[in-house]
Structure 1
Amino acid sequence: MTQDYDFRYRIIRAGDAETSGGDRPAEMIKKLWRSLLDVAIPCAGGEEIKIDGFKLLNNRDVLHGIFDVVSRSGTSRAADRGEEVIPRREGSPCFQNIHSTALYEPRIHLIKQLLETVLALVDLEKDGSTVDIDGFRLKNPGHWTVPSACDPAEIFEYAGSRCNCDCVFCYLKGEPSLPSLDFPRRTAAEEMEEIRTRLKYFSPQMKRSLFPGPGSTCEVLAHPHILEVLAELRLKTGSPFRLITNGASLAPEMISALAGLAPVYLDVSLNSASPLRRQRLMRDRKPEVAINALPLLKSARIPYSVVIVPWPLESEEEMLADLEGTVAYAAEHGAHLVQVSLPGYSRYFSRGGIFERDSLWRSLVSRVRELRKKYRYPIVVMPGIFEEFVSRPVKNAPEVIGVIKNSPAHFAGVRPGDIIGSIGGLVVRNRPQARDILSIFQQSDTKGLNMAVRREDRDLTLAVDLEQWTYPYSQVTDTHLGVVFMGTGLRVGYLERLKELIADHRAKEVLFLSSALVKPVFEQLLRQSFLFAGGQVSVQVAVPENRFFGGNIFMGDLLLVEDFIDCINEYVQKRKRKPDLVVIPSSPFNLSGWGRDLSGRCHLDIERTVGIPVEVLPCQTIYD
């Protein structure tokens, strides 16, 4: 049996100047409390309680505040030293990035903080001599398995450490100085050691796997050992491999190998069917490889989507014309669907404006709507909620915007523009309901069902045969019988939980923080819901600004803790009073289940800083 990969983490010892003066033992306990309260919530009698201080048993007259100083960067990072990335010396062991680890497994970060706090006061010895240590490793990775959906991407994403293109719009360009986004540079052999260890503890039967990490964000298929990884992974799971690729590695040999690992689904970032434009957009030295891959994928019966990031190189007109040409090429060669990802950039990418976001996005949405009609082809906009924002006065409707070719919905005669009224006798009132019901039927043993739709001014009942389908539709990779919607939508059930939170706090004035795109949908749900009728509770909706990322970024899921703090403080300054309760959707903190934003900062710091009760409303990420 191969030896497990060593998960190593660096520790930084404080100098003498940092540890002199004051009540250092009390400071040690304070830091330990801070660290613990970022991963655990105290309870009494089964009820959660919030604490902000402690007393030592030998002097109960003195109250020590735990969060007396909360830095803008957050308690968890303020307690850290050595934020800078320390270059790796040749031949030295590779340390994992503790900050990215803290996003997904903060208990390892807690160990680092405990060790550094203790080592600020004591030296370790062995045989009478001081031992100087600079890190620690996990003794047994098997102790660090966690409940998991066991998505195959949990394994192969660790192969995405290199890229064979250099896209002009890549979000990694000008990446902000977030320690959590730094990745250790390792050899392919070192990466394989970690991947094999993760494979060892990957158990779809037990629904457990090794603690997750951020993986890597580059081209998975460019890794020299990727086919070996996928072959070993296929022995462990029959789940589909959904691979995101720029297409530069999709030579005939690679496509043939992937076909042998079915079921496989590819999201191909083609971006342009023009070799010249693709070369300029992506710095792809052989653009014809990806372009020629589409008919080969169709021949190999590998379902795939085509992803396009429309970027105005010369002009908006040139970009829109190329968008149509690429959509036509994708439709000709049997793409499952086309995804148009609306372009954006942070302030780290460009200090000046590259394009006016709202105008460009509206032009793209308008052209996509034209192309859907012209090619009768499913084209989705990402984020879909923007299309709804600019084109639908009524939000959250169960409207069909596309149908996958050769799917049960396609053969049943479902058309774009249909409004679903019921599925299998179950009444549908909104988009999340429609998606859920279709997904349940798709996974069931049901062979057929009736779907009631409203088409223009007619009510129709369509018979859907769940066993009638062929490529590019797939029962394994599709989820809604071939019906394509305008994103996920907002669940009405969120309002019930919101009402419970308000009642728990007996709040009369509530500040709800939303994104600019979700705000009109949320306000529509509030108006329609009987839960908030009567006016006994005032729910004010505010939109935090994406100040950290800046640029033209305005997605709620990219907001950081500091963005929420700024918004709340400005709201209070403007209103001259504090709300009784602040409620924030959980989606910016959904990355790992530990309530952290992309910087690794815990959402609990919001309440600690603003001094107002803050609750996080559990919800799904709706960036689609």
Structure 2
Amino acid sequence: MVSSINSVRKRPMADRLVKQVLFRSVQNYNILPLTSCCNVSCLFCSHRQNPAGIEAYFLPPLDWETVEDLVMFLSPQKKIVIGESATRIMEGEPFTHPRMMDILRLLRDKFPLTGIQLTTNGTLLDEKKVSLLKSLEPLEINLSLNSCSPGMRQIIMHDNLAEEALKAPARLQVAGISYHGSIVPMPWITGWQDLAQTVFFLEEKGARTIRVFLPGFTRYTEEKLQPPPGWEKELLAFLKDLREKCSVPLTIEPPGLLDLKPIITGVIKGSKAEAAGLRRGQMIISINGLTPFSRVEAFRLLSEPGKYEIKVTDGGTEHIIILEVCPGEKSGLVMDYDLPLSLATEILNLTKKAEKVLVLASEWGEPLLREALHKTMRPGIDITIVPVPNRTFGGTIKSAGLLLVEDFLKVIEDYVQDQEKPDLLVLPGLAFDDRGRDLRGRNYQDLVERTGCRAVLV
């Protein structure tokens, strides 16, 4: 979402709430929050121009004792993530934490073999830090570059260290540190040439993949920052053309998928998948004789060590490809995220205790969920799937995580005017925290009281 820097509401959290949210982030997601402080101010920052009353928590740099307490609850079985957020804590630039390098040493001492994933804007990645990062492998960097032009980084990120940030890709490349580049494109401000140059700059500097995050805009976005009509269609066409020319896998998020076909988005250069003969655009028909349910399931199957016989189709021609993934290796396969089979199974299991089920989905998720249930649903089950517009945020927002109780309530009230009232409401869990509260603190049980329908989160 885009907004004015002055509109961000930074609310220091009470001690009890701080601990709850921090430990939930660590225990549920293996994310180690360190600070909400940031040394840039991006026009596309997701905390800009929120509706009134949205809960977004600002976290000052954590003290050393708190960091040590949190580290005790990290899992060594999953990668440790720093610089991202899956809760209502505002993510910041991790290298602004005064003891960032000490924290990384602490993590490596406690978890010598666990991968660490760092998201950074690159401004503070000097040669000394890059050298230390190399000594702390295995780790991976997500580099939010956004533009390869110092002038454009200054405009869209208010980055006073743009020249230094643009040295980061080469430093990581020379050090041999695996990294992924990311771009939030705003070509109506930077120009189309800047977007293309940034993609090819990251390709030249050794990025493993390039992630393009489509910017979101709410009804509160300043008019001067809003894109022109038809921008999304034009941008997607431009990115499709870039994908054809770029040798590095280029992903678009959200991918705007309408089906669950396990089509390969890209293959990382030098990977096992590339050596085996897998290529972008191929569709996986079967893996060791099993038909994958979706992209997610195909990727999951091929992420485990083992030897795989993969049947793919490419332009109507079927091929058999043998892929062997050894322990500790990654296949190098890149696929868009759609839906796991477990989600469809969970919803279908709920129908055993209800005769008429109303499934409420985000506008992005609805077509995928509809196909998933169609593929798995038994005859005689009465399930209706309805997309829920993000009326509160408005603009181009279509995600489940930004839906509020009032958005769901409007759709339910409209539905029951013409249809029989459902026995069960199925709501996306992404819209609520672990206490069942939406982004304004309203509990989903309010829907039960207002509609008289039982409700569950999935």
The bucket for the TM-score relative to the shorter chain is 0.7 to 0.9
- What is the TM-score with the length of structure 1 in the denominator? 0.65
Distance in 1 (CA, whole Å) between partners of 2:402 and 2:334 is 25
1:464 aligns with 2:323: yes
1:224 aligns with 2:98: yes
Q: Deviations over 1:35-77 (max 9, x none)?
A: xxxxxxxxxxxxxxxxxxxxxxxxxxxxxxxxxxxxxxxxxxx
1:96 aligns with 2:10: no
Distance change >3 Å, CA 599–CA 191, structure 1 → 2 = farther
Between the two structures, name the one with larger relative contact order (CA 8 Å, sep ≥ 6): 1
Alpha-carbon distance, 1:605 to partner: 2.6
Amino acid at match of 2:231: L
1:195 aligns with 2:67: yes
Greater shift after overlay, 403-412 or 321-330?
321-330
Distance change >3 Å, CA 585–CA 95, structure 1 → 2 = closer
Asked if the contact 2:93/2:120 (under 8 Å) is kept, the reply is yes
Match of 1:497 in 2: 346
1:543 to 373, 384, 387: 387
1:434 aligns with 2:298: yes
Distance in 1 (CA, whole Å) between partners of 2:10 and 2:188 is 37
Match of 1:280 in 2: 155
Distance change >3 Å, CA 342–CA 206, structure 1 → 2 = closer
Distance change >3 Å, CA 150–CA 427, structure 1 → 2 = closer
Structure 1 unaligned segments of length 5 or more: list them.
1-84, 88-93, 106-143, 390-394, 468-473, 619-624
Pairing of 1:170-569 with structure 2 (within 5 A): 170-178=45-53, 180-183=55-58, 186=60, 188=61, 191-199=63-71, 201-202=72-73, 204=75, 214-237=88-111, 238-314=113-189, 319-350=191-222, 354-355=226-227, 359-384=230-255, 386=256, 388-389=257-258, 395-441=259-305, 446=306, 448-466=307-325, 475=328, 478=330, 481-487=331-337, 489-505=338-354, 507-508=355-356, 510-529=357-376, 531=378, 533=379, 536-569=380-413
Greater shift after overlay, 347-356 or 322-331?
347-356
Alpha-carbon distance, 1:582 to partner: 1.9
Amino acid at match of 2:437: R
Match of 2:3 in 1: none
Asked if the contact 1:345/1:552 (under 8 Å) is kept, the reply is yes
Distance change >3 Å, CA 180–CA 146, structure 1 → 2 = closer
Q: Deviations over 1:141-191 (max 9, x none)?
A: xxx89993683x32xx22x2321111122122334444631325x5x5x63
Alpha-carbon distance, 1:381 to partner: 0.5
Match of 2:438 in 1: 597
Alignment RMSD: 3.1
Structure 2 unaligned segments of length 5 or more: list them.
1-8, 81-85
Distance in 1 (CA, whole Å) between partners of 2:342 and 2:70 is 37
Distance change >3 Å, CA 322–CA 194, structure 1 → 2 = same
Q: Deviations over 1:96-121 (max 9, x none)?
A: 2666666x49xxxxxxxxxxxxxxxx
Aligned-residue sequence identity (percent) comes to 29
Distance in 1 (CA, whole Å) between partners of 2:235 and 2:24 is 44
Q: Deviations over 1:302-325 (max 9, x none)?
A: 1111110001443xxx53322211
Larger radius of gyration: 1
Distance change >3 Å, CA 263–CA 249, structure 1 → 2 = same
Asked if the contact 2:266/2:280 (under 8 Å) is kept, the reply is yes
Alpha-carbon distance, 1:215 to partner: 4.7
Distance in 1 (CA, whole Å) between partners of 2:138 and 2:10 is 42
Distance change >3 Å, CA 482–CA 437, structure 1 → 2 = same
Distance change >3 Å, CA 485–CA 229, structure 1 → 2 = same
Match of 2:425 in 1: 582
Match of 1:47 in 2: none
